[in-house]
A = this chain, B = another copy of it.
Amino acid sequence: MVQTPNKQLTHLKNIPNGYPVVGEHIDVKESTIDLEAPLEEGAILLKIHIISADPFMRSPMKGNDSGSFFPPYLIGQPVYGVTVSSVVKSNNAKFNKDDLVVGITNIEEYTVIGPSNPFFNWLEIRNETKTSGLPLSYAVSVLGMPGQTAYHGLLQVGKPKEGETLYVSAASGAVGQLVGQIGKQRGLKVVGSAGSDEKVAYLKEIGFDEAFNYKKTSSITNTLKELCPNGIDIYFDNVGGEHLEAAIENANRFARFPLCGMVSTYNTKEAVGIRNLMSLMPKHITLEGFGVSDYFQFNDQFTEEVTGWLKEGKIQYRETIAGSIDEAAQAVVDIFHGKNFGKQSIYVSDPSF
């Protein structure tokens, strides 16, 4: 029995109350795996190439959270997340050696997953990625769930009409940068906010009509009033809190607010309340919490249209990719502080094909 080193991103002994801390709540631990061990019926052995660092990972860190869709991370066990991997060995007719696989797995260098895992049926074989000429990491970013979230949220929930005004918060992030660029493709006026001047410059570079650094404005409400003189028709909310209040203040009648994330509230024990919901009535505003899975029937349209835009250079996509699994814990923690620029992923290994 030969043991191969197998580093794992692990949930440590404490459940974080506020921001998670590397070494206290999450860390990379040494482990080993026997790559020759027989696989149980239906299981596959995967070699992981890319790990996606996603805001949803804060949710299973909460222990039992009845509001959440995601089962809690278990103390001392590897955490799960979205990965790009390839099949090393298969005991399942659906998967062949070297298939490129995208889905939710344990985060480690090698991982075994089988039908008893609740996420097993979500695994997708994405072999077209091998020959698309686009980076492998796009499978978990612009052409993965963040991309689908942007596309379905803006088009299906936001229901944009040409000439309307769209505001996006966390606009340089994994989802936001695509929301804004899809908005431009659909003929909207697009306004975005981000947390640094560098990010704001990037937003202008990729075609946002207006962009501002929310950390440098004393009132998001007043800034939006200036930048959106015709009011806001769609607010794509990645942040919640003050941005949501300010967007309600500046919303037009019949505005649509796709709610995608409220990263401002994920790490705070006492959530800040939204105080102006009474304006939803006279303005007839709709707030709609959604998830990509509500609109999977539009995935083929999404893949075709966004792949086309990328290949034609009509849209750009910014990623930050950490260089090894050793940096995975820090990379995950950093996204809650907005330290990443664009989509944050972690490189683990190259595929063998």
Contacts and interface: CB of A to CB of B under 8 A. Distances in A.
Interface of A: 59, 67-69, 240, 244, 259-262, 265-266, 270-291, 294
A291 B281 CA distance: 7
A287 B265 CA distance: 19
Main secondary structure of the interface of A (DSSP, over half): loop
Given A262-B278, A274-B277, A285-B289, 14 more contacts: A67-B282, A67-B283, A262-B281, A270-B275, A271-B276, A271-B278, A273-B274, A274-B275, A277-B287, A280-B287, A283-B289, A284-B291, A286-B288, A287-B287
Contacts of A270: 275
A35 to B, nearest CB: 37
A296 to B, nearest CB: 13
Residue picked from A69, A259, A261, A279, most chain B C-beta under 10 Å? A259
A278 B291 contact: no
Residue picked from A68, A244, A281, A288, most chain B C-beta under 10 Å? A281
B271 A272 contact: no
A252 to B, nearest CB: 12
Residue picked from A59, A275, A278, A284, most chain B C-beta under 10 Å? A278
B67 A277 contact: no
Contacts of A286: 286-289
A281 B290 contact: yes
A154 to B, nearest CB: 15
A265 B290 CA distance: 27
Contact of A281 (B276, B282, B289): B289
Nearest to A272: B273
B289 A294 contact: no
Nearest to A276: B271
Contact of A240 (B259, B271, B277, B294): B277
A17 to B, nearest CB: 16
Contacts of A287: 277, 280, 286-288
10 closest cross-chain pairs (CB), A and B: A273-B273, A280-B289, A281-B289, A271-B275, A287-B287, A262-B278, A273-B275, A286-B288, A67-B279, A69-B282
